[in-house]
Structures are given as structure tokens and as C-alpha cells.
Amino acid sequence: MRPALPLLALLLAACPERRTAPEPAPPAARSPAEPPRPSAPAWTSVEETCVDRWLAAHHLDAYGNPEGTMYTGGTPLLDEASGRAMSRQAYLSAHRPEPLRACLHGD
């Protein structure tokens, strides 16, 4: 049963584009490099409790949004488009700094 080899050679000869390696895909567009963010010190349990109480007293969820807010993916801490996650502390600092000022800075 040797006829398969000549048939294979005939097929390869008939399809020259199959013998060449495909061109590599262009590199994916990259977003501009973001400067590194300074890491914030972790909250103490007392500070975290204070922030949670402040949010509850103002009828806000753990992320500083109105109670009952629904999030794609279950949390606003994950940016599904970029795959980046942030800490709750960083999220609150950027979106709802009032409890941080009240609890961490004594304002």
C-alpha cells in the first residue's frame, strides 16, 4: 500500500501555499503604559469597621454605591474589559472618598 505517498506528494505540489509558513499576525495593540500606582497601606480592622458603619449609615453598599446596586461580574472591583482588579480601598478612594476622610483622617 505505497500509493499514499505519491498521492500526498501530488497534493502538496498542487497546493504551494500550504507549504509556506503563514505570516505572523501583527502584534496586538497595547494600551499606553500606565504609571505604577503607589500602594496604600492596609486598613486596620478599626478603620475598616468605621468605613463599613459610615457606608451603612448612609444607606450605601460596601463599595459606596446605593444599597441594592447590581454589578456585572458581581463586583465593581474588576474591570472585565482589561482584566484588572483593584482593592476596595482603592475603589473607595477613587469613587467615594468621604468615608475614608471621616474614618482615616478624622475630618
- 3-class secondary structure, 85: strand
Domain range enclosing 51: 41-107
Answer yes or no: is 90 within a domain: yes
Answer yes or no: is 81 within a domain: yes
Q: Rounded to an integer, what distance in angstroms lies between the CA atom of residue 61 and that of residue 55?
A: 6
Count of domains for the chain: 1
For the whole model, what pTM was predicted? Answer: 0.57
pLDDT of res. 42: 76
Task: Tell me which residues of the chain have a pLDDT lower than 50.
Answer: 30-31, 34-38
Answer yes or no: is 54 within a domain: yes
Q: Rounded to an integer, what distance in angstroms lies between the CA atom of residue 30 and that of residue 63?
A: 30
